[in-house]
């Protein structure tokens, strides 16, 4: 069985199909890992969700990203943070919308395969959490998302605080911190607190911040982790972590890495710039505002 981890799709369905054709993905015996942000900003979120859902859990492993949660928030009735570049309306008005929303909110925030010894997250982990602790923390949010009270979660999800993990955190503050780690994290301050405002490349970062995977004494430092979310970082292997977001929705590339054997095999396909809404000669600062 071949296992391919794939970066942010964001509704770039045609690019996903092209990538699967290039690697000769066979859903009867192979598996894809999708590192979150299946939807939004690209043109075919509805097609993407329908395709991944019908693959089934055996062939497709999914974790939720911030854009997936953003769409779930709209499905829950929280439209406070609508963005003019959102492309989620076709999902929300589809005849099978309820089925797709129900399926999406039952996907995890963190995935670990003990046989492969690989984990998958959309954004990152705070330095304090081991893999087992990450699984426990993810389960706290997943329990709420999968409950009858799931809509209440989205009244409290948005926000940058609290910034520092403590086992003493409770209620919505605790769930918001956990969610921010798994779906929004790029940098930490030197004291380990979350630094959620700056979204750019490491060469431009504030001096007191480090990428989450470069934090000293990180509890998960010896664990292999694939993640997306960070197109300005670029794709590549950084010790034991693998960055997968290559900016498909920006007309750049969609990337997969085969993780069931070494040496790890990377595959990219070019995005169809003419069919995507975020192409053009944007500066790095302009691009950062839309990430």
Range of the domain at 40: 3-290
Q: Which residue has the tokens 């490349």?
A: 201
User: By the 8 A CB rule, do 172 and 156 touch?
Assistant: yes
Strand arrangement of the beta sheet that strand 118-121 belongs to: 110-113, 118-121, 224-227, 241-243, 236-238
Distance CA 231, CA 200 (A): 9
pLDDT for 275 equals 61
pLDDT for 287 equals 42
- The pLDDT profile of the chain, 291 residues, written as one tens digit per residue, is 999 999 999 999 999 999 999 999 999 999 999 999 999 999 999 999 999 999 999 999 999 999 999 999 999 999 887 888 899 999 999 999 999 999 999 999 999 999 999 999 999 999 999 999 999 999 999 999 999 999 999 999 999 999 999 999 999 999 999 999 999 999 999 999 999 999 999 999 999 999 999 999 999 999 999 999 999 998 999 999 999 999 999 999 999 999 999 999 999 999 987 666 554 444 444 444 334
Count of domains forming the chain: 1
CATH code (residue 99): 3.60.21.10
User: By the 8 A CB rule, do 262 and 230 touch?
Assistant: no
Q: Which residue has the tokens 């900016």?
A: 247
- Nearest of 157, 8, 137 to residue 73 by alpha carbon: 157
Within the chain, how many helices (H) and strands (E) appear?
A: 9, 13
- Nearest of 5, 270, 254, 265 to residue 113 by alpha carbon: 5
- Nearest of 276, 272, 273 to residue 15 by alpha carbon: 272
Note the pTM of the prediction, 2 decimals: 0.94
pLDDT for 286 equals 43
Distance CA 5, CA 243 (A): 10
pLDDT for 285 equals 45
- Nearest of 156, 38, 190, 42 to residue 104 by alpha carbon: 38
Distance CA 173, CA 176 (A): 5
**Contacts within 8 Å (CB) and 24+ apart, 136-141:** 137/110, 137/178, 137/181, 138/108, 138/109, 138/110, 138/178, 138/182, 140/174, 140/175, 140/178, 141/109, 141/175, 141/178, 141/179, 141/182
Strand arrangement of the beta sheet that strand 31-34 belongs to: 60-62, 31-34, 3-6, 253-258, 265-270
84 SS3 class = coil
The residues that bridge with 110 in the sheet, in sequence order, are 121
Cα angle 137, 117, 268; round to 5: 100
Distance CA 44, CA 38 (A): 10
pLDDT for 199 equals 94
User: By the 8 A CB rule, do 245 and 4 touch?
Assistant: no
Neighbours of 89 (CB within 10 A): 12
Distance CA 46, CA 161 (A): 32
- Nearest of 32, 48, 51, 43 to residue 267 by alpha carbon: 32
- Nearest of 234, 120, 241 to residue 182 by alpha carbon: 120
């Amino acid at each position: 069985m071949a296992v391919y981890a794939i970066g942010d799709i964001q509704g770039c369905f045609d690019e996903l199909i092209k990538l699967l054709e290039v690697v000769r993905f066979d859903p009867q015996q192979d598996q894809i890992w999708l590192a979150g942000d299946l939807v939004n900003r690209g043109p075919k979120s509805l097609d993407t969700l329908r395709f991944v859902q019908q693959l089934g859990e055996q062939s497709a492993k999914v974790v939720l990203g911030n854009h997936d949660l953003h769409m779930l928030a709209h499905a829950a009735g929280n439209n406070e943070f609508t963005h003019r570049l959102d492309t989620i309306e076709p999902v929300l008005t589809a005849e099978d919308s309820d089925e797709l929303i129900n399926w999406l909110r039952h996907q995890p925030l963190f995935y670990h395969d003990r046989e492969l010894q690989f984990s998958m997250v959309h954004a990152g982990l705070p330095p304090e959490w081991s893999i087992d602790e990450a699984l426990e923390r993810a389960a706290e949010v997943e329990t709420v998302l999968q409950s009858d009270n799931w809509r209440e979660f989205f009244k409290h999800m948005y926000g940058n605080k609290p910034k520092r993990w403590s086992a003493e955190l409770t209620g919505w503050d605790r769930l918001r911190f956990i969610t921010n780690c798994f779906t929004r994290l790029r940098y930490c301050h030197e004291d380990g607190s979350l630094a959620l405002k700056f979204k750019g490349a490491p060469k431009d970062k504030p001096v007191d911040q480090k990428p989450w995977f470069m934090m000293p004494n990180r509890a998960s430092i010896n664990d292999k982790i694939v993640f997306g979310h960070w197109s300005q970082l670029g794709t590549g292997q950084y010790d034991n972590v693998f960055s997968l977001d290559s900016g498909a929705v920006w007309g750049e590339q969609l990337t997969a890495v085969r993780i069931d054997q070494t040496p790890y095999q990377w595959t990219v396909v070019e995005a169809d710039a003419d069919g995507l809404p975020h192409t053009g000669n944007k500066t790095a600062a302009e691009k950062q505002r839309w990430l």
